Amino acid sequence: MSKFKDFVDIKNHVIELSKKKPKKISVASAGDIEVLKTIKMSNDIGLATGILIGEREEITKYADEIGLDLSINTIVDVSGEKAIAEKAVEKVRTGEADMLMKGLIHSPTFMRAILNSQTGIKSGGFVHLVSAVYHPSLSKIRLFSDLGMVVEPTLNEKIEMIKNASEVAIKMGIEKPKVALLAAMETVSEKISVTNECAIISKMADRAQIGDVIVDGPLSFDLACFKEACERKRYEGPIQGDADVLIMPNLHAGNIFYKSAVYMAGMETGSNFAGVKKPIAIFSRGDTAEAKLNSIAFALMLSE
Render pLDDT for 266-300 as a digit per residue (tens, 0 to 9). Answer: 999 998 999 899 999 877 766 777 888 999 999 99
Q: What per-residue confidence (pLDDT) applies to 202?
A: 95
CA atoms within 13 A on the CB side of 265: 15
Strand pairing category for 128-134 and 142-145:
antiparallel
pLDDT tens-digit map of 118-160: 999 988 788 999 999 999 999 999 999 999 899 999 999 999 9
- Is pTM, for the whole model, over 0.95? no
In single-letter form, the type of residue at position 81 comes to: E
Q: Residue 191 CB: number of other CB atoms within 10 A?
A: 6
Q: Considering the chain, what percentage of its residues have pLDDT values greater than 70? A: 99
Q: Which residues pair with 276 in a beta bridge?
A: 122
- pLDDT tens per residue across span 87-106: 999 999 999 999 999 988 88
3.40.50.10950, 3.40.630.30, 1.20.1440.230, 3.40.50.300: CATH of 7-122+276-302: 3.40.50.10950
Rounded-to-integer distance, Cα 178 and Cα 214, Å = 5
Per-residue pLDDT at 81 exceeds 90: yes
Q: Which residue has the higher pLDDT, 34 or 70?
A: 70
- How long, in residues, is the chain? 304
Class in CATH terms, 128-263: alpha beta
Give the strand pairing for 49-54 and 24-28: parallel
Q: Is the dihedral of CA 145, 284, 59, 42 positive or negative?
A: negative
Q: Which strands sit side by side in the sheet containing 99-102, from one edge to the other? A: 74-77, 49-54, 24-28, 99-102, 280-281, 268-274, 128-134, 142-145, 245-247, 178-182, 214-219
Residue 173 vs residues 4, 166, 183, 217, 249: alpha-carbon distances, Å: 8, 11, 27, 24, 26
Mean pLDDT of the 107-113 span: 91
Give Cα separations from 158 to 61, 151, 169, 175, 245 (angstroms): 45, 12, 16, 21, 12
Do domains 7-122+276-302 and 128-263 share one topology? The answer is: no
Residue type, 192: I
Query: Looking at this protein, which amino acid is placed at residue 110?
Result: F
Mean pLDDT of 16-44: 93
Q: What is the pLDDT of residue 48?
A: 96
The answer to whether the beta carbons of residues 50 and 32 sit under 8 Å apart is: no
Q: Where are the beta strands (DSSP E) in the chain?
A: 24-28, 49-54, 74-77, 99-102, 128-134, 142-145, 178-182, 214-219, 245-247, 268-274, 280-281
pLDDT, averaged across the chain: 93
What's the chain's Rg over C-alpha atoms? 20
Of residues 117 and 97, more confidently modeled: 97
Q: What are phi and psi of 173, to 5 degrees?
A: 100, 5
300 phi/psi in degrees, rounded to 5: -65, -35
pLDDT tens per residue across span 206-244 = 999 999 999 999 999 999 999 999 999 999 899 999 999
Where do the structural domains in the chain lie, given as residue ranges? 7-122+276-302, 128-263
Q: Who contacts 139 (Cβ-Cβ below 8 Å, separation ≥6)?
A: none
- φ/ψ of 52, rounded to 5, equals -95, 110
Once rounded to an integer, what is the mean pLDDT over residues 46-69?
96
